[in-house]
Chains A and B, each alone.
Chain A
Amino acid sequence: MNRLAKRIVAAAAAVVSLVAMTGCGSSSEETSGPKITIGIKFDQPGVGYKQGNEYTGFDVDVARYVAKKLGYSEKQIIWKEAPSAQREALLQNGDVDFIAASYSITEDRKKVVDFAGPYFYAGQDLLVRSDDTSIKSAKDLNGKNLCTVSGSTSAQVVKDNFAKSVQIMELSGYAECVTALISGTVDAVTTDDIILAGLASAKGGGVLKVLGQPFTKETYGIGVKKGSTQLIKQINDALAEMVSDGSWQKALDAETSGTDYSPNKEWNPPTKFDAEDSDETVRTDTASAK
């Protein structure tokens, strides 16, 4: 019995050390030289998504392009997950050099971080099943079921402004919402249109569609540490170049392929990269919060 116990402990120790060694291996493989750390979402297909060691999405394409213009090759980029609630802390502590993670520019956030950009204008929209013809606008959601992720107020915006009797389900992630949408538990999913387009594209087969009637305006910027004036200028130049040389449109088309989604033409692509100077608060911070 005692021998058996010893063997189990030995086996466990072996497994632990093996895991530890794999950790060493992967980090030493990286190329030397200066590194840039970029914060992105890991869980939003089409926007910021991690699959194995591959990073895809529109935010990732933008970040990659910017990093290239700043003089960093693909191998010098360290991707770091930037969940919504941690973005300001990551920038303030210097854990990341910049963040491109569906990060809306707001007056409140500008108090603690600086923004470059904007690089995209999104708007809150609805994702529905393609064969469901009963929902043509947010007003048709009365008596229907709507899904969003917990902690987001987007569903409340719909309830307050468009459909008083909509029923709201809050799940931990958009992937769960899509599952609920396909199974028929809910009739629509709401958040920014580009995230919805990414979800529809990831699902494939044209099963889901984005309504294409955004009812809010979100300004995606690239977050940097407060006071990084030089970096903001460099990023803005890179963004302007990305739009003018067509890479911006190419990235957007690739990430939303298979859906007939196109971003709001009035706003996109952005022409002015003046997030720091403009006083335009795009999202009313508290109107929908209560």
Chain B
Amino acid sequence: MQAMLTLLSQYDVLGAFWVNIQLTLWSALFSLILGVVLVMMRISPIPSLRAFASGFVEFFKNMPLTIIMVFMLLGAFVQLRFQFSSTFSSNFYWLAITGLSLYTSVFVCESLRSGINTVPLGQAEAARSLGLGFFQTAGLIVLPQAFRGSVAPLGNTLIALLKNSTVAAACSVATETSTLMKTMIEYNASSIVAVFMIFAIGYVILIIPIGLLTTWLSNTLAVRR
């Protein structure tokens, strides 16, 4: 306990967690947008869009996140010279968010698709018979119900995203928790257990409320049929 307090006063642990939270929030926003676009493509009446979206989803779903992150750094930045900013730190930050968003968006898409499966086919048929077009049917009838039905899987995706944000270290984001943990082990080898406990407890503290919130939301929002 004493060792943990000493470590906490020596290192900016909260700052490191804040970096992970920021990475998570930005990636959650972008992956939600991209995920909705993907799921719209997957239920669209145009075969080429459906094929593209399912190809995209299968590709990123089966790709390890570390490889995506290393690609963002060594492929997109070092080889292809793609950069968000000429400042290294913010460039790597946004490259990491791009990688996380691409990876997470396909899980958002799959979660929403499971939500769409809970909406009875009759709903869409009724909407079409009232004369609503594709976007109106999707936006007004199907997706709102799908969102309410997929709160739990979306919450799990968010939890996974928060934990995955530590992989940003592979994209040279040096201020986040897993990098700080490595540094602390390097310089405080005598209190390795305390170092480990700090980060384990930190993530548990962050993640338990997300889990409770999604369970509650999922019960409250679910469409009773």
Contacts and interface: CB of A to CB of B under 8 A. Distances in A.
B186 A170 contact: no
Tell me whether chain A's interface is mostly helix, strand or loop, or mixed.
Answer: mixed
Interface string B176-189: 00010011111111
Contacts of A167: 87-89
Contacts, number: 72
A5 to B, nearest CB: 22
A170 B190 contact: no
Interface stretch (A7-15, A26-34, A45-53, A149-157): A149-157
A74 B223 CA distance: 72
Given A170-B174, A289-B11, A112 B189 contact: yes
B69 to A, nearest CB: 10
A251 interface: no
Interface stretch (A80-88, A209-217, A237-245, A263-271): A80-88
Tell me whether chain B's interface is mostly helix, strand or loop, or mixed.
Answer: helix
A152 B73 CA distance: 19
B190 A168 contact: no
B74 interface: yes
Contact of A171 (B10, B89, B172, B185): B172
B107 interface: no
A112 B165 CA distance: 32
Nearest to B6: A286
Contacts of A88: 189-190, 192
A257 interface: no
Q: Size range of the interface on B? A: 20 to 34
Interface string B51-73: 00000000000000000001001
B183 A151 contact: yes
Contacts of B185: 84-85, 151
A247 interface: no
A179 B184 CA distance: 27
A176 interface: yes
B92 interface: yes
Nearest to A166: B88
A183 B182 CA distance: 27
A89 B11 contact: no
Interface string B160-199: 0000000001101010000100111111111010000000
Interface of B: 10-12, 70, 73-74, 77-78, 87-89, 92, 169-170, 172, 174, 179, 182-190, 192
11 contacts: A87-B189, A111-B190, A151-B179, A151-B182, A171-B73, A180-B78, A183-B78, A185-B78, A289-B184, A289-B187, A290-B12
